[in-house]
Amino acid sequence: MSLRDWFASKRNTSTKLDVSAMNSRLTDEEICKLWTQCYSCHQNIPSKELENNLMVCMHCGYHFRIGAYKRIMQLCDDFQEMDENLFPADPLNFTDTEPYLKRQADAHQKTGLNEAVITGIGRIGEERLGLAVMDFTYLGGSMGSVVGEKITRMIERALAERLPVVIFSSSGGARMQEGTFSLMQMVKTGAALAQLHEAGLLYISVLTEPTFGGVTASYGTLGDVNIAEEGARVGFAGRRVIEQTIRQKLPADFQTANYLLNYGQVDMVLARQEMAPILATLIRLHRQSSGLAPISLA
Amino acid sequence: MSDKILPLEFEKPIMAMEEKIEELMRLSQDSHIDFTAEIAKLRSQAEEVRNKLYHRLTPSQKLQVARHPQRPNLLETVKMLSPNTWIELRGDRSGTDDRAIIGGIIELSSGPVMVVGTQKGRGMKENLTYNFGMANPEGYRKALRLFYHAEKFKMPVLTLVDTPGAYPGIAGEQHGIGQAIAFNIREMARLRVPIISVVTGEGASGGALGIGVANRIYMLEHALYTVISPEGCASILWRSAEFASRAAEALRITAQDLLEFGIVDGVIPEPQGGAHYDPTLNAQRILETVEQAISELKAIPNDQLPADRYAKFRKIGAYQEKNAAALSS
């Protein structure tokens, strides 16, 4: 299957515009899909142009949130997904206002995703890497057993093939409906990264909007290089919890990418356009200094 | 314990029975009437009620026991584990001594052990000193330097965990609380000495994990280990903290639950009613469990302890793998 076909099979078909139907009168809905209003500067942008600009507003630089498959499409020249057959379970038999199983089914229906992370082996330019990209649209990007398992398996594969690892985080934190199972995924992934570290292999963490809780307190901040995407809010505790605890209003830029940069918590803040070239360069530099040969692209 | 034990709400029926027994005894003394039979009967009834009650504590009731203001804390416990030796090591060497996390060296029958844990205070003044056992990044960084210290000198590490979680504050975020916890998780996974962790009260989320990655994890009978406090869970999923006891039930956070899930390796029985009823016995039971664990772990070469830890956590997770036929359907 060609790369284009693979991406086409993953694209949500409801956003595809039927060209022949454009000859007849467009419905209001279709007209709206031709334009997108920027959430930040409120200008109307042609949707196609926004798409070509990596979902970044050309007027103000606002970075729209994007899903995992879109991110992979923007980033990689090639990508082989792994563990697509992992699905969540219900270890606690959990029901709050709705059963957890129903939330899973609804999330799958709404997003087409099986879970909140896509993992696999990718290629950016000449560099091969283990890659995980989280998706906030699936249950708030929450980390449960499947997220932990998929990320761990990807790291173990990178270890075996001596590849660098890049993880794009986007998450509200650990998934409550799996209780302490979710909590332990922080240890599982942390321990896998410990092995990667001891093998001298590079791990780059990219923190995207928003990343909080158990993800920040595990693989999110364990990179040899930690990168925050422009506009991302990243922290451990949520803003509201902190405000309630200290009984003070927080500064408007609290926990934003630049705030983190000023407080020494990230190595750099990158605009989306810079991601692919800088990641490729970082991977190359560390690979070359380690004396690892480039992987043959057979 | 010289202080009178503060009863919890759900213990009131027992308190009522105890008072009745005492009243009868006083009456028996004053009036010289023999109430022995009645007293014995009431005593055995109270015993039965007590047994039933404490064997069937709900998660919310356990939470009250785990958070009891008189529950033995870290400093009290280490002095019972090791009456002759306790040398505290303080500071992160970077500008702070976070008092919410306390560490130092004790001596057990197996030899010196590095103890690190969260410290809750007794009373308001102490709790302000120890920040209610809620640590900042500096506390986790202090813990880490003590872990490295233990590794250098081949001392086993014992962590005692009782915390409502890491402190949610501005300075914590500025100084990287997420990274401090994450880094501790990673480094504890790599440590070349045995690590044993005992959750003695509340084990809350990342705040507990920051000192909780171990070869063996034990919980006291009424201790709890949770990804989020029941109150926090209720306000998010049920939109109101009033549903905290529902959340506590749903989250499956008791020691018995975690043992069943294979997440903890053992449950340490508490004195009836909770550790605060008999701190000495409680410490004795912790000591027995820890010494047994140390002797088992000493059989593993230090270099293989990370692999033992990896295997323990690697298998934790509940998911489904669907085969190709199921996927295409």
pLDDT tens digits, residue range B218-228?
999 999 999 99
Phi/psi at B149 (5° precision):
-60, -45
CA-based nearest residue in chain B for residue A174:
B227
Which residue of A174, A226, A242 is in closest CB contact with B168?
A: A242
Q: Chain A within 8 Å of B269 (Cβ-Cβ)?
A: no
pLDDT in tens, B66-120: 999 999 999 999 999 999 999 999 999 999 999 999 999 999 999 999 999 999 9
pLDDT at position A139, please?
Answer: 98
CA-based nearest distance B327→chain A, Å: 7
User: What mean pLDDT is predicted for residues A143-160?
Assistant: 98
Q: Inform me whether the pLDDT recorded for B1 exceeds 50.
A: no
pLDDT in tens, B272-282: 999 999 999 99
The residue assigned the tokens 């009834």 is B45
pLDDT at position A33, please?
Answer: 80
Alpha helix positions (H), chain B: 12-31, 36-55, 59-66, 74-81, 123-129, 137-152, 170-174, 177-190, 205-209, 230-237, 244-251, 255-260, 279-297, 305-314, 324-328
The rounded mean pLDDT for chain B is: 95
Q: Inform me whether the pLDDT recorded for A133 exceeds 90.
A: yes
Contact B209 A187 (CB under 8 A): yes
Sort out which chain B residues have CB atoms less than 8 A from A237's CB and list them: 166, 168, 172-173, 177
Which CATH class, in words, describes the domain spanning A66-290?
Answer: alpha beta
pLDDT at position A10, please?
Answer: 65
The rounded mean pLDDT for chain A is: 92
pLDDT at position B240, please?
Answer: 93
User: What beta strand segments (E) does chain A contain?
Assistant: 35-37, 44-46, 78-82, 86-88, 117-124, 127-134, 165-171, 203-211, 225-229, 268-270
Centre a 10 Å sphere on the Cβ of residue B5 and count the other Cβ atoms it contains: 14
Q: Inform me whether the pLDDT recorded for A14 exceeds 50.
A: no
User: What mean pLDDT is predicted for residues A29-44?
Assistant: 87
Boundaries of every domain in chain A? 26-64, 66-290
Contact B183 A184 (CB under 8 A): no
Give A182's strand partners: none
Confidence bin at B329 (pLDDT 50/70/90): very low
CA-based nearest distance B236→chain A, Å: 10
CA-based nearest distance A189→chain B, Å: 9
Q: Inform me whether the pLDDT recorded for B38 exceeds 90.
A: no
User: What mean pLDDT is predicted for residues B209-225?
Assistant: 98
Contact B143, B132 (CB under 8 A): no
Sort out which chain A residues have CB atoms less than 8 A from B210's CB and list them: 217
CA–CA–CA angle B208, B110, B217 (5° rounding):
25
Burial state string for A258-286 with b = 16 or more CB within 10 A and e = fewer than 16:
ebbeeeebbbebbebeebbebbbebbbeb
Which residue of B227, B238, B324 is in closest CB contact with A183?
A: B227
Q: Is the link from the previous residue into A210 a cis peptide, with omega within 30 of 0? A: yes
Confidence bin at B325 (pLDDT 50/70/90): low
Sort out which chain B residues have CB atoms less than 8 A from A246's CB and list them: 168-170
pLDDT at position A296, please?
Answer: 59
C-alpha span between B261 and B269 (Å, rounded): 18
**Is ipTM beyond 0.85?**
yes
pLDDT at position A9, please?
Answer: 66
- Give pTM, 2 decimals: 0.93
Q: Which of B12-16, B58-62, B111-115, B250-254 has the lowest mean pLDDT?
A: B12-16
Contact A119, A86 (CB under 8 A): no
Q: Inform me whether the pLDDT recorded for A265 exceeds 60.
A: yes
Q: Which of B133, B185, B141, B190 is nearest to B162 (CA)?
A: B133
Touching A: B residues 41-60, CB under 8 Å: none
User: What mean pLDDT is predicted for residues A31-60?
Assistant: 92
Q: Chain A within 8 Å of B250 (Cβ-Cβ)?
A: yes
Q: Inform me whether the pLDDT recorded for A11 exceeds 90.
A: no
Higher pLDDT, A293 or B303: B303
Question: Which residues have C-beta within 8 Å of that of residue B65, sequence separation ≥ 6?
Answer: B8, B57, B71, B222, B273, B274
User: What mean pLDDT is predicted for residues A60-74?
Assistant: 97
Higher pLDDT, A191 or B43: A191
* Gyration radius of chain B's alpha carbons: 22
Size of interface A-B (CB pairs under 8 A): 201
Q: Inform me whether the pLDDT recorded for B179 exceeds 60.
A: yes
Contact A217 B168 (CB under 8 A): no
pLDDT at position A4, please?
Answer: 63
Contact B321 A96 (CB under 8 A): no
Sort out which chain A residues have CB atoms less than 8 A from B258's CB and list them: 180
User: What mean pLDDT is predicted for residues A105-134?
Assistant: 97
Which residue of A97, A149, A218 is in closest CB contact with B185?
A: A218
pLDDT at position A61, please?
Answer: 96
Contact B261 A146 (CB under 8 A): no
Which residue of A87, A88, A217 is in closest CB contact with B206?
A: A217
pLDDT at position A13, please?
Answer: 46
CA-based nearest residue in chain A for residue B255:
A180
pLDDT in tens, A200-216: 999 999 999 999 999 99
C-alpha span between B33 and B52 (Å, rounded): 32
